């Protein structure tokens, strides 16, 4: 028991170390002068300033020293300075990530709920017209890139029908305003996430309902849907935990595109602007943060399995 | 006298690309407090009969005939009415206990479930009864098992959990499908005692399905021998063991270790392709020409019924 915990911790720590090292190495492996890259091509600075900056960033020192300095900075939550935004990267990220996490969190939650519920129904009664229709619809959705769906929704519901605002997280910082602004982007991401959960759960329920415990639940006197919701769904939902963890990075990147379409000032637009403006410190910081988020999602999934599936843990 | 369970001319078939008949005209009855055993080799249709009585067969199963339980025709009940009987008055113990229990719910919760479904019991009340049931099945500190999960225990433990779950409401008819399968002798004794106690104290009747003839002999009042989807001999246990009449029954007893371990030659036919004439003729040491062509009827005489031309 203790040894597996140690093993797991070691595994997570080593992936974290790998992420950090990659994050250190990538900008240094890129072609061109890192200092020029750091400042960006659209900003003019004299050679003297560049040399000063090089010394200040320690880029003229040996690689190992640079690495140690980088780690030290990380420990102080210092992710560098964005010359484009004229503020420390950590501050910029802190400001943006909250919104994106709200957006992604609500969407993934809704998507999981919707996907599990409808997927369970479709797997329980796969022959009905409704569940065939649902399956077709969700397969279509899962094949559609989220940014395309976002454009479609924006075109139909915001421009044509005028039901929702076009852009931004809010006009005034009230719950109503945030909700109406987030409705479309959340719907798009939730539907996309639901489509993936739906397909997994449908297959999973089709498989699980043939298990003997489902028949025994019937023999105990449970009636139809009670068997599904009291016995089958929990077993069938276990793969969803893995899917959510694995999908987190994927959904996150989808969210970034959706943010750009809806002009939401979250991580997506930040990264987009950073790419356009070659703002490497911001990109580096964003990469680290997202990688960390995916890592945490995986740790949570690991932990969650031990809680919900007794086969993963041993008796106390 | 009204029987508790009266099965008449039960026929079971499965639809499909090639429809098959697996059970043909099986009739038997069980009185209140009486134990009947269905014996026969694997694949002769014992479990199908059990599942047909509880209407647990897959939707493509065709069931004909009549199954009267306390005078009610089970084959005509709606699924909802059936659900009210199942687990309550009519319960079953499945063969494969480790798979019959739900892997992600605790034993305490699963054992309490029949109480909560049928008696709408509260949590504390249900827990009390669960602890009592566990204690009765030989678990010395039952509290330990409330938060226990099927994957943590052995097959034998799960078998006893399953028996506790199926008998917790003291059903009037308990169908036990191979309850002794995969258990070591000490555990079989415990299961046997529990089933016996249930019959004596709760006045439950038992439909015992087994190929463990020793187990059957100690528990059953009557024995029905099944071969290739039909009953070939039906008799009181004492009468049957003293002198089995059907060649197949004789073969079964002869294959017991204490009777010399002589196996019946040949293999049991698959349910979907039963031989013509008497279904046992390819393996029968006494076969005559008539047995190849004609199908014998089940004929009752002197406390027993036998399906054989030698008996007629």
Question: Among B54, B149, B162, whose Cβ lies nearest the Cβ of A310?
Answer: B149
The pLDDT of residue A2 is: 67
Within 10 angstroms of residue B160's Cβ, the number of other Cβ atoms is 26
At residue B89, φ and ψ (nearest 5 deg) are -95, -20
The pLDDT of residue A264 is: 87
**Percentage of chain A lying above the pLDDT 90 cut:** 33
The pLDDT of residue B115 is: 94
Q: What CA–CA distance (Å, rounded) separates A312 from B9?
A: 48
**Percentage of chain B lying above the pLDDT 90 cut:** 54
DSSP A44: -
DSSP A232: I
The pLDDT of residue A112 is: 92
Any idea which of A91-105, A156-170, A220-234, A297-311 has the lowest mean pLDDT?
Answer: A156-170
The three-class DSSP label of residue A261 is helix
pLDDT digits (tens, 9 = 90+) for A181-225: 888 999 999 999 999 999 999 999 999 999 999 999 999 999 888
The pLDDT of residue A266 is: 87
Inter-chain touch B102–A213, beta carbons under 8 Å: yes
Q: Domains of chain B, with CATH numbers?
A: 5-89+171-184+200-306 (3.40.50.300), 101-170 (no CATH)
What sign has the CA pseudo-torsion A219, A220, A224, A228?
negative
Domain chopping of chain A, boundaries: 2-76, 90-276+293-308
Question: Residue B191 — pLDDT band, cuts 50, 70, 90?
Answer: confident
Residue of A239, A232, A21, A274 whose CA lies nearest to A121: A232
Scanning every residue of chain B, which has its alpha carbon at the shortest distance from the alpha carbon of A233?
Answer: B104
The pLDDT of residue A56 is: 77
This prediction has a pTM of 0.84
Average pLDDT value for residue range B191-197: 86
Optimal mutation site among A211, A217, A218, A221, interface B, most CBs of chain B within 10 A:
A221
The alpha-helical segments, DSSP class H, found in chain B are 46-53, 79-85, 97-100, 107-118, 123-136, 155-167, 185-201, 213-219, 237-242, 247-254, 289-293
Q: What CA–CA distance (Å, rounded) separates A257 from A261?
A: 6
Inter-chain touch B94–A308, beta carbons under 8 Å: no
pLDDT digits (tens, 9 = 90+) for A19-55: 999 888 887 777 777 677 667 666 677 888 888 877 8
The pLDDT of residue B12 is: 93
Q: What CA–CA distance (Å, rounded) separates A131 from B189?
A: 49
Q: Is the ipTM of this complex over 0.85?
A: yes
All residues of chain B having their beta carbon less than 8 Å from the beta carbon of residue A311 are 103-104, 149, 151
The pLDDT of residue A312 is: 82
The pLDDT of residue A42 is: 67
Q: What CA–CA distance (Å, rounded) separates B292 from B307?
A: 14
| CATH architecture observed for domain A90-276+293-308 | Orthogonal Bundle (1.10)
The pLDDT of residue B312 is: 67
Q: What CA–CA distance (Å, rounded) separates B101 from A212?
A: 8
Average pLDDT value for residue range A162-169: 78
Scanning every residue of chain A, which has its alpha carbon at the shortest distance from the alpha carbon of B107?
Answer: A310
Distances from the Cα of A189 to the Cαs of A107, A134, A168, A183, B147, in angstroms? 6, 17, 16, 10, 39
On the question of pLDDT at B1 being above 60, the answer is: no
Return the structure tokens found at B89: 């008055």
Inter-chain touch A220–B103, beta carbons under 8 Å: no
The pLDDT of residue B150 is: 92
Instruction: Please give the distance of CA B38 from its chain centroid, rounded to a whole number.
Output: 6
Query: Chain B residues contacting A, CB < 8 Å?
Result: 54, 56, 79-80, 83-88, 91-92, 94, 96, 99-106, 113-114, 117-118, 148-149, 151-152, 162, 165-166
pLDDT digits (tens, 9 = 90+) for A259-281: 888 888 888 889 888 888 777 78
Inter-chain touch A215–B100, beta carbons under 8 Å: yes
All residues of chain B having their beta carbon less than 8 Å from the beta carbon of residue A216 are 94, 100-102, 162
């Amino acid at each position: 028991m203790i040894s597996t915990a140690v093993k797991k911790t070691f595994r997570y720590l080593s992936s974290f170390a790998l992420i950090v090292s990659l994050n250190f190495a990538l900008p240094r492996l890129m072609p061109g002068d890192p200092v020029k890259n750091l400042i960006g091509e659209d900003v003019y600075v004299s050679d003297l300033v560049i040399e000063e900056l090089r010394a200040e960033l320690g880029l003229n020192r040996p690689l190992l020293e640079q690495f140690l300095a980088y780690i030290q900075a990380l420990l102080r939550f210092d992710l560098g300075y964005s010359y484009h935004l004229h503020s420390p990267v950590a501050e910029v990220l802190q400001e943006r990530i909250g919104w994106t996490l709200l957006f992604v969190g609500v969407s993934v939650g809704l998507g999981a709920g919707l996907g599990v519920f409808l997927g369970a129904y479709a797997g329980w009664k796969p022959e009905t017209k409704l569940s065939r229709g649902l399956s077709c619809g969700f397969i279509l959705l899962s094949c559609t890139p989220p940014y395309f769906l976002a454009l479609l929704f924006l075109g139909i519901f915001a421009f044509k029908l005028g039901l929702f605002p076009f852009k931004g997280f809010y006009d005034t910082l009230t719950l109503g305003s945030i909700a109406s602004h987030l409705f479309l982007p959340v719907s798009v991401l939730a539907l996309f996430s639901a489509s993936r959960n739906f397909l997994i759960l449908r297959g999973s329920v089709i498989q699980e309902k043939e298990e003997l415990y489902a028949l025994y639940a019937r023999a105990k006197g449970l009636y139809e849907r009670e068997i599904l919701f009291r016995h089958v769904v929990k077993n069938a939902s276990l793969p969803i935990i893995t899917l959510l963890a694995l999908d987190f990075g994927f959904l996150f990147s989808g969210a970034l595109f959706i943010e750009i379409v809806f002009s939401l000032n979250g991580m997506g637009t930040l990264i987009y602007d950073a790419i356009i403006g070659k703002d490497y410190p911001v990109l580096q910081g964003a990469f680290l943060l997202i990688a960390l988020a995916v890592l945490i999602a995986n740790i949570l999934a690991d932990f969650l399995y031990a809680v919900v599936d007794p086969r993963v843990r041993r008796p106390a | 006298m009204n029987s508790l369970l009266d099965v008449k001319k039960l026929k079971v078939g499965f639809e499909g690309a090639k429809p098959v008949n697996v059970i043909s005209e099986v009739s038997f009855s069980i009185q209140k407090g009486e134990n009947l055993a269905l014996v026969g080799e694997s694949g002769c249709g014992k479990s199908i009969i059990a599942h047909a009585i509880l209407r647990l067969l897959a939707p493509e199963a065709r069931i004909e005939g009549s199954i009267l339980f306390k005078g009610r025709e089970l084959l005509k009940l709606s699924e909802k009415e059936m659900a009210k009987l199942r687990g309550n008055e009519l319960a079953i113990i499945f063969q494969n206990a480790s798979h019959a229990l739900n892997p992600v719910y605790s034993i305490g919760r699963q054992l309490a479930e029949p109480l909560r479904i049928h008696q709408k019991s509260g949590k504390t009340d249900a827990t009390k009864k669960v602890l009592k049931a566990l204690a009765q099945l030989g678990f010395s500190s039952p509290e330990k098992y409330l938060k226990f999960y099927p994957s943590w225990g052995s097959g034998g433990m799960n078998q006893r959990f399953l028996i506790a779950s199926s008998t917790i409401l003291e059903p009037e008819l308990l169908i036990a499908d191979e309850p002794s399968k995969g258990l070591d002798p000490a555990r079989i004794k415990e299961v046997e005692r529990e089933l016996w106690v249930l019959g004596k104290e709760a006045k439950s009747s038992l439909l015992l399905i087994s190929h463990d003839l020793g187990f059957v002999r100690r528990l059953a009042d009557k024995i029905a021998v099944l071969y290739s989807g039909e009953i070939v001999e039906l008799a009181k246990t004492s009468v049957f063991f003293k002198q089995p009449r059907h060649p197949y029954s004789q073969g079964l007893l002869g294959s017991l270790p204490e009777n010399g371990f002589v196996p019946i030659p040949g293999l049991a036919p698959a349910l979907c392709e039963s031989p013509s004439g008497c279904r046992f003729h390819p393996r029968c040491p006494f076969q005559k020409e008539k047995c190849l062509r004609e199908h014998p009827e089940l004929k009752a005489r002197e406390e027993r019924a036998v399906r054989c031309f030698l008996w007629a």
